[in-house]
Amino acid sequence: MAADSDALLSSAARLLALRPAASMEEVAASTGISRATLFRRFPSRAALVSALSERALSAYIDAVERARPEAGPAPEALRRAVSELAELAPVYGLLVLQPLDEHVEAGLVERARKGDERLTRLVRRGQESGDFRVDLPADWVLTTITWLVVGAADGLRLGLIAPAQIEHLVTETVLGSLRR
């Protein structure tokens, strides 16, 4: 059952990455199940989006962990972190545009805080070492990374950029804006 749910969520995430306004009927068709089966598993679009958001959050936490933002010189660590986060764009990048219940969103934001704090500490470390500009607040840099990933996902959806370009474009935009 868990494998079935995982496959269903993967398929739904891929569809919503390409067509954010897809209906539940379209989601069901893309996953190869009936609309009734989809609604038994996820009684509403909000429940489906909530489950996908949980999945995206787990992917974010894993990406930050893999990046090891505390290790090595700040520019290298930030390059690793942005590279890992850019990989989330094709599947989860546009999920942030889906409406969420405010309590669900608050819980997700709270759970993301530890990863966010690791990344903001990385930016501050780079500022203190003289590698990064000090006039850009660390929280702003994190916000910029987030919305560049969303923008990359939208550019991919619209056919303006290729999947292979995402990492380079996001990474170079972030590092280019921070260089002293």
Residue 10 inside a domain? The answer is: no
Residue 30 inside a domain? The answer is: no
Residue 31 inside a domain? The answer is: no
CA max distance for the chain: 58
* pLDDT confidence tier of residue 96, bands split at 50, 70 and 90: confident
pLDDT at 134 over 80: yes
Going by C-alpha positions, the residue among 117, 122, 104, 129 that lies closest to residue 174 is 122
What percent of the chain is modeled with pLDDT above 90? 88
Name the H helices within 68-162: 74-86, 89-92, 102-129, 138-157
Under 8 Å between Cβ of 88 and 60? yes
How many domains are contained in the chain?
A: 1
The domain in which residue 150 lies consists of 45-178
The predicted pLDDT at position 5 comes to: 82
What's the sign of the alpha-carbon dihedral 108, 113, 118, 121?
Answer: positive
Under 8 Å between Cβ of 86 and 171? yes
How does DSSP classify residue 72? S
The predicted pLDDT at position 97 comes to: 86
Residue 11 inside a domain? The answer is: no
Residue 32 inside a domain? The answer is: no
* pLDDT confidence tier of residue 167, bands split at 50, 70 and 90: very high
Rounded distance, CA 109 to CA 3, Å? 27
CATH code, 69: 1.10.357.10
The predicted pLDDT at position 132 comes to: 97
3-class secondary-structure state, position 19:
coil
Tens of pLDDT, residue by residue over 38-47, are 999 999 999 9
pTM, to two decimals = 0.90
Rounded distance, CA 125 to CA 119, Å? 10
